[in-house]
Amino acid sequence: MAIKAELFASSFMVFILITCTNAMDSQVYIVTVDGTPAIHKFPRSAESPRAFPSSTRSEMLAYTSELVARHDDLLSSTFTSSSYRKLYSYSHVLNGFAVKLRPKQADDLRNSQGVRHVEADWRLKKLTTHTPDFLGLPTGAWPRDGGPSNAGENVVIGIIDTGIDPTHPSFSARGPVPYPPLANFHGKCETSAGSSVPLCNGKIIAAQHFAAAAQAAGAFNASNDLASPVDEDGHGSHTASIAAGNHGVFVNSDGFYFGEASGMAPRARISVYKALYRHFGGFMSDVVAAIDQATKDGVDVLSLSVGPSSPPSSTRFAYLSAFDVALLSAVKAGVFVAQAAGNGGPYPRTMASFSPWIMSVAAGLDDRNYSNWIYLGNGARLAGLGLAPATPGEQMYDLVLAEDAAVANNSGFSFSPSNCQQPEVLNKAFVQGKILMCTYSFSFLYGGATVRKVADTAKSLSAVGFVLFVTRELPGNKFNPIPLGMPGVVITDVQDSTSLLNYYNSSSAGSAARAKIGNGMSPTYEGTGPQVAIYSSRGPGVKDYTLRDSDVLKPNILGPGSLIWGAWTPSSMDEPDFQGQRFAMISGTSMATPHIAGVAALIKQAHPDWSPGAIASAMMTTASVADKNGKQLLAQHYSSTGSIILNPATPFDIGGGAINPSAALDPGLVFKAGIEYEDYIGFLCSIAQMDQTQVLNVTGSSCTKSKSAADLNSPSITISNLVAHRIITRTVTNVAAAIETYKVSYVEPEGIAMQVSPSLFTIQGGQSVTLSVTLKVAAPITGEYSFGSMLLSGDKGHAVRIPLAVRAGAG
């Protein structure tokens, strides 16, 4: 066999050279094989994933070594050793491996005995957005349940991201109470090459990196990307600090103080799985390796600020990609999984997260605003943005337009003097002691000009401050209130910019134009948050790459995601305005997700025996559908002219609603399936056009029952095609200690008649009651979804709400 292959190689040399960039190109495949993955063979209680006797653990390790040996045998008996490269064996959440080989070999594998499924690898991306809305508001309340020194104690949050900056104060283990070793947690700690800083310290309890697929695909560049868990990007440190960063860390940027930061669960441990990289994001087979490891290690919660740009086409249904199937096994092992919804909003069907076992997190704006003013000598006051201190004292300072301070010969510079990007192009004598006026032009959008360089220029010319103004509408451009590093203000309104220039022009003849800049360091609270951020992906959830609607509610919950302060890596090149800084304020469903992971850790701490489904239910049924003024929560959309408008938020914007951490700790009732995993398999088996052998092939579990998505015992009801009528059942379990009587009320989706029985019930602690919900088409079919809700109000104060999304159809 081997000799024959060599002969072919020499006689077809030319052929191979010509075609090596297409059909013959090796690529990475994820292969699943016969045999049960370890978490199925050695089931853990979904209620306490780490409570696992050590004798069972050693049996499990022996079993997984055997699986790995079988993977190696299969490959070596099918191919010559030089024709493939195995990157990973997966043995906990999947039984299979990632391997680099040629498409022809992938076909050979598909036809091999014992091979169940072969899926080409695909790319995932970090879900941070670079164009958040400038009215966005940094994050607000940090829950303090149990006190920050205790919140999250003994809970481990796994972060699959770009790694971590172990030297950051958000992750220091110093503090009054040392972190003791954690029983039954088995995470490993890699050492970082060439660094003496230990990566793990008790707070960071494990740290590993996964890059084999990125390297095999040629995307990993050793001069930019670190082959260690150390974060060269900033994204992973940021998300980790949101979930579990230390409490009371001073946020300092450019020498200015912006308050104190705290993770949602500041006492939780962080287990780092680096599988994403600065330039290219990541590859599914690296991320699956991270999920496999995290589940094996025994994390309680997984935070995934990562997803595909569109539903994968590699499997017929998005639920069956190796990524989603690996997460299903993790959930079976008791791990709560939060994943970013995606940043494809505000358009429908843009979700990057699909399956009912995953908590998909939408991003909201909070109600904090950093506004500022420049006061002119003529008494006018112009509004602007910028986190910056005031000009010193009460007095006004002369204004000077950058053009008027330009050096005589300013050819040969890459930026116009008006952009204030280079001090050499301006005359220091004209600028010092004054407020420098600079123009925001297209160079800031496309030419590499930054607000930070304006501040640097003003500083090095000894100006007392600067004003950066926009002279023309820049459709689609958003401004963030970024830290300016010195007195400064960004005027984003063209009209206000004209007023400023008119004042400057009219005054320059005799007396100089003068101004002072106000203090922009303190936020103002508008009382209007939260709102759904424009970029946050919207439902309905989809089941495949042709974007067919699913009956799974997506997204599931809204968390704060816009302009969030978090830990940053000074060396990161990703955000020009935060280069060199240890904190950055960035936006995305990436930032919303670790908020939810952190709250999940608080719930797990308070209720160690709650399954992932119970935790998800507690969050969704207690979430808020009102803003801070008690008005209906609103979602940002685009108007036909491209400006931002606000519409009432629907379950396709917010799922259950905006997270309310303290209510989620005491939900009263939860919707949980008795045996969640079997229900999820039943759900897969019930999907129309699903090949049941494929469910077996990718999950290892066969179809024994059928459970349609609408019939999963989830805290929502979604029906994309209601024909005539349907009866849906839901079972609630009283997780409060005391007996309570609940009254059922509901809001019918428009055009749908609804009935719920019983309408009143009394339920003992620990007991369950089944509700039957009848939905009936009661109006002509419009083809549109309509939305409603069901509310269970307890006489001890619990309020349990689930959303309904229903579309009537003809069948």
Ligand X SMILES: *[C@@H]1O[C@H](CO)[C@@H](O)[C@H](O)[C@H]1NC(C)=O
Residues known to be catalytic: 161, 235, 590
In the chain, what's the furthest Cα-to-Cα distance?
Answer: 94
Q: Kindly write down the DSSP assignment for every residue of 51-68, as one continuous string.
A: ---HHHHHHHHHHHHHHH
Which residues lie below 8 Å from residue 443, measured CB to CB, with a gap of 6+?
A: 415, 416, 419, 421, 449
Q: Which of 11, 36, 65, 502 binds ligand X (CB under 6 A)?
A: 502
Closest CB 473 distance from ligand X, rounded Å: 16
In contact, 159 and 240? CB cutoff 8 Å: yes
Site string for ligand X, 165-204 (x = CB under 6 A): ----------------------------------------
Regarding 411 and contact with ligand X (CB under 6 A), the answer is yes
Regarding 645 and contact with ligand X (CB under 6 A), the answer is no
Regarding 221 and contact with ligand X (CB under 6 A), the answer is yes
Q: How far is the C-alpha of 34 from the C-alpha of 686, rounded, in Å?
A: 23
Regarding 505 and contact with ligand X (CB under 6 A), the answer is yes
Q: Kindly write down the DSSP assignment for every residue of 251-291, as one continuous string.
A: EEETTEEEEEE--SSTTSEEEEEE-EETTTEEEHHHHHHHH
Closest CB 467 distance from ligand X, rounded Å: 14
Q: How far is CA 84 from CA 98, 102, 277, 282, 649, in A?
A: 11, 8, 25, 21, 51
Closest CB 374 distance from ligand X, rounded Å: 11
Q: Which is nearer to ligand X, 468 or 665 (CB)?
A: 468
Query: Helix, strand or coil for residue 634?
Result: strand
Regarding 694 and contact with ligand X (CB under 6 A), the answer is yes
Buried b (16+ CB within 10 A) or exposed e, 755-794: ebeeeebebeeeeebebebebbbeeeeeeebbbbbbebbb
Q: Which is nearer to ligand X, 294 or 489 (CB)?
A: 489
Q: How far is the C-alpha of 15 from the C-alpha of 335, rounded, in Å?
A: 50
- Applying CB under 6 A, which part among 219-227, 339-347, 434-442, 736-744 lies near ligand X? 219-227
What single DSSP character describes residue 145?
T
Closest CB 708 distance from ligand X, rounded Å: 20
- Applying CB under 6 A, which part among 174-182, 296-304, 409-417, 700-708 lies near ligand X? 409-417
Closest CB 217 distance from ligand X, rounded Å: 12
Regarding 77 and contact with ligand X (CB under 6 A), the answer is no
Closest CB 90 distance from ligand X, rounded Å: 18
Q: Which of 45, 56, 195, 224 binds ligand X (CB under 6 A)?
A: 224
Count the residues of the shown chain that bind ligand X, applying the rule CB under 6 A: 20
Q: Which is nearer to ligand X, 10 or 223 (CB)?
A: 223
Q: Kindly write down the DSSP assignment for every residue of 463-490, as one continuous string.
A: -SEEEEEE-S--TT------B-SSSEEE
* Chain residues 359-388 in contact with ligand X, contact rule CB under 6 A: 369, 371, 383
Paired tokens of 670:
């939860």
Q: Which is nearer to ligand X, 502 or 571 (CB)?
A: 502
Q: How far is the C-alpha of 322 from the C-alpha of 94, rounded, in Å?
A: 8
Q: Kindly write down the DSSP assignment for every residue of 188-249, as one continuous string.
A: -BPPPTT--S-S--SSEEEEEE--HHHHHTT---TTTS-SSSB-SSSHHHHHHHHHHPPTTE
* Chain residues 85-104 in contact with ligand X, contact rule CB under 6 A: none
Of 314, 326, 324, 285, residue with least CA distance to 99: 285
Regarding 745 and contact with ligand X (CB under 6 A), the answer is no
Regarding 689 and contact with ligand X (CB under 6 A), the answer is no
Q: Which of 22, 77, 196, 409 binds ligand X (CB under 6 A)?
A: 409
- Applying CB under 6 A, which part among 350-358, 417-425, 428-436, 689-697 lies near ligand X? 689-697
Q: Which is nearer to ligand X, 320 or 603 (CB)?
A: 320
Q: Which is nearer to ligand X, 116 or 168 (CB)?
A: 116
Q: Which is nearer to ligand X, 479 or 742 (CB)?
A: 479
Q: Which of 135, 240, 326, 557 binds ligand X (CB under 6 A)?
A: 135
Regarding 462 and contact with ligand X (CB under 6 A), the answer is no
In contact, 790 and 746? CB cutoff 8 Å: yes
Q: Which of 81, 82, 223, 704 binds ligand X (CB under 6 A)?
A: 223
Q: How far is the C-alpha of 725 from the C-alpha of 429, rounded, in Å?
A: 80
Of 140, 157, 128, 138, residue with least CA distance to 266: 157
Site string for ligand X, 310-349 (x = CB under 6 A): ----------------------------------------
Radius of gyration of the chain (CA): 28
Amino acid at 656: G
Regarding 526 and contact with ligand X (CB under 6 A), the answer is yes
Q: How far is the C-alpha of 582 from the C-alpha of 249, rounded, in Å?
A: 11
Regarding 641 and contact with ligand X (CB under 6 A), the answer is no
Q: Which is nearer to ligand X, 224 or 782 (CB)?
A: 224
Regarding 22 and contact with ligand X (CB under 6 A), the answer is no
Q: Which is nearer to ligand X, 433 or 527 (CB)?
A: 527
Closest CB 766 distance from ligand X, rounded Å: 42
Q: Which is nearer to ligand X, 59 or 108 (CB)?
A: 108
Q: Which of 379, 412, 475, 476 binds ligand X (CB under 6 A)?
A: 412
Instruction: Please enumerate, as own/partner, the contacts of 494-500 that have beta carbons within 8 Å and a separation of 24 or more.
Output: 494/470, 496/382, 496/383, 496/384, 496/469, 497/469, 497/470, 497/471, 498/471, 499/380, 499/382, 500/374, 500/376, 500/382, 500/437, 500/467, 500/469
Amino acid at 162: T
Q: How far is the C-alpha of 77 from the C-alpha of 599, rounded, in Å?
A: 48
Q: Which of 498, 662, 767, 772 binds ligand X (CB under 6 A)?
A: 498
Q: Which of 474, 501, 512, 606 binds ligand X (CB under 6 A)?
A: 501
Regarding 691 and contact with ligand X (CB under 6 A), the answer is yes
Q: Which of 593, 697, 701, 716 binds ligand X (CB under 6 A)?
A: 697
Q: Which helix (H) or strand (E) holds 651?
A: helix 651-654
Which residues lie below 8 Å from residue 107, measured CB to CB, with a gap of 6+?
A: none
Closest CB 439 distance from ligand X, rounded Å: 11
Q: How far is CA 311 from CA 288, 352, 354, in A?
A: 17, 7, 8
Report CA torsion sign: 492, 497, 499, 503: positive
- Applying CB under 6 A, which part among 498-506, 564-572, 603-611, 676-684 lies near ligand X? 498-506
Cβ-closest residue to ligand X?
371
Q: Which is nearer to ligand X, 232 or 254 (CB)?
A: 232
Q: Which is nearer to ligand X, 693 or 721 (CB)?
A: 693
In contact, 27 and 103? CB cutoff 8 Å: yes
Which residues lie below 8 Å from residue 196, measured CB to CB, with a gap of 6+?
A: none
Footprint of ligand X on this chain (CB under 6 A)?
Answer: 116, 135, 221, 223-224, 369, 371, 383, 409, 411-412, 498, 501-502, 505, 526, 691, 693-694, 697
